[in-house]
Structure 1
């Protein structure tokens, strides 16, 4: 049974309301009626969940629109510190993400020990279009939390190669460390050969050691494709083209490399320019 409404700002507690229920179930007409009758859109239920959180968790874009237009607080936080934008990214709802950003949602909310950023959440689910949109509006590539590391760590741990590509092309630090573990450690643990090759191409250190003094290859099974991949990189130096790419990226940045890649410049010349 729905409890009584509690009128007030975020922070006032209430039982789960009809507004929460309608938002979660995508009952647009019911939600509109409730709003028109004066039902508060910023009531919080257990765990500080607002109706806007509920709508975003379920990807109910029409309900999100109604709530925002009625004055729902766009950056409200639940008990874990997650904002509606985090929930929309986790759900992979591009429509909700766009709407929240259009209403001023923070793409880089302050992190606490218990929260991940919207970009982290999008990478957990491999929600490529959400990742692309977040990057286009300045999502932090190096935001790091206690449990996940950077978004690149998250994408590697969850085996989302396409997200890894997007993050690397946007300039993510390929050797970022969480407890001395790099994204390559995560990719090795996940046995993702294509991902490991991609990380190395972008400059991942195959000799990096974590807090247990283990290299990425130490997390692969003997004679497995993943082990063979890393052993081959240990025994054979990168080709000039790959070295040039890494050096150019480090020296001039990602965008410059993309532009140069469209030009007809001999590889040896690029190599010469990179190593001066």
Structure 2
């Protein structure tokens, strides 16, 4: 009797698709079976069918980095910004999977680089930085991804990159104009780098203007989270005892004056030498 009642209920969700378990379209998209997927589409299969947790075939293709399948789905009318029950868009999945090809394709089809943050998901830029996918980070930044978007768990994308110790992603963010001293409940990226005992991150953050004297909710400076005598501690001690040079300070002030416009393509238009440009971007 319960089965009859359940089967009689409408299973459509708006005009996007229907709540189903994984379909043949989901499977083909996930496994990169382009010929099978093309045949299913030609035979009238819905490209926007959802599982009970609102995962579409496009999500599946992007999770696995199946660019050709994603292209077939989008050309057949797949919703580019559809969200799972947890709030993830296909672009979030592509950035998490480290597929710049899928990310570029989605952006070309109008995917938003700044979907609304939810309590359960982060932005595509956060996802790229959490997973250490610098190429995906560059792509969404070029499309206007918010550098200071705040996730309730990770904080800003820079915080996320530092928590996961992805130096390349942190560098991409800083070169794009991310605020080096942005606080996550009074905790800066430099506090995080010190906690993770990552000397490379510490050096880069300080060179980009990271405040060695910033205090968190416990009144602690970054150096307070290092082990006495350890390389990170010695690094911070050196910077505390030896202020940045005039050259280094000039770089910090210059970048600060540019604000969020410190993209290399912008600075490259200035009438300065390539050596100066490389110095500005910590190459």
**With structure 1 as the length reference, what TM-score do the two structures score?**
0.89
C-alpha change, 1:99 and 1:263, in structure 2 (3 Å) is: closer
Alignment partners' CA distance in 1, 2:25 and 2:102: 18
Change (3 A) 1:57 1:215: same
| Structure 2 CA distance for partners of 1:242 and 1:77, relative to 1, 3 Å | same
The yes-or-no answer on 1:181 pairing with 2:187 is yes
1:224 equivalent to 2:230? Answer yes
Q: Answer whether contact 1:7 1:43 (CA < 8 A) is retained.
A: no
State the distance in 1 between where 2:272 and 2:112 align.
33
What does the per-residue CA deviation read over 1:72-112, in whole Å, with 9 as the maximum and x for residues that have no partner? 10000001101000000000111101110010000111112
Does the 8 Å CA contact 1:114/1:146 hold for their aligned counterparts? no
1:104 aligns with 2:110: yes
> Contact conserved, 1:11 with 1:48, CA < 8 A, in 2?
no
Q: Which runs of 4+ in 1 moved over 6 A?
A: none
Shift of 1:116: 0.5
CA contact (8 A) 1:19 1:34 kept: yes
User: Which position in structure 2 is the counterpart of 1:162?
Assistant: 168
Aligned match of 1:196: 202
Aligned residues: 262
Q: Could you report, residue by residue, the CA deviation over 1:139-195 in whole angstroms, capped at 9, with x for unpaired residues?
A: 110111100111111111111111111111110000011111111111112211121
CA 1:257–1:68: 2 relative to 1, 3 Å = closer
1:124 to 122, 130, 133: 130
The structure 2 residue matched to 1:262, chosen from 273, 280, 283, is 273
Structure 1 counterpart of 2:145: 139
Q: Say if 2:71 is the partner of 1:60.
A: no
Structure 2 counterpart of 1:248: 254
Give the CA deviation at 1:261: 5.4
For 1:177 and 1:261, the matched residues in 2 are separated by: 33
Residue 64 of structure 1: how far off its partner (Å) = 0.3
Give the Cα–Cα distance (whole angstroms) in 1 for the partners of residues 192 and 52 of structure 2: 35
Partner of 2:55: 49
- Please, what TM-score do these two structures have when normalized by structure 2? 0.87
Q: Distance in 2 between matches of 1:66 and 1:183?
A: 41
5+ long unaligned stretches in structure 2: 1-6, 277-283
1:81 and 2:87 equivalent? Answer: yes
| 1:22 Cα offset (Å) | 1.1
- Map 1:24-35; keep pairs closer than 5 Å: 24-35=30-41
Instruction: Give distance in 2, aligned partners of 1:163 and 1:31.
Output: 35
Counterpart of 2:78 (choices 68, 72, 76) is: 72
The yes-or-no answer on 1:214 pairing with 2:214 is no
Following TM superposition, by how much is the alpha carbon of 1:263 offset from its aligned partner in structure 2, in angstroms? 7.4
Q: Secondary structure at the match of 2:209?
A: coil
Call closer, same or farther: CA 1:151–1:260 in 2, change over 3 Å: farther
Q: CA separation of 1:162/1:25 partners in 2, compared to 1, >3 Å: closer, same or farther? A: same
- How has the CA–CA distance of structure 1 residues 113 and 264 changed in structure 2, closer, same or farther, with 3 Å as cutoff? closer
Displacement of 1:10 after TM fit?
2.9
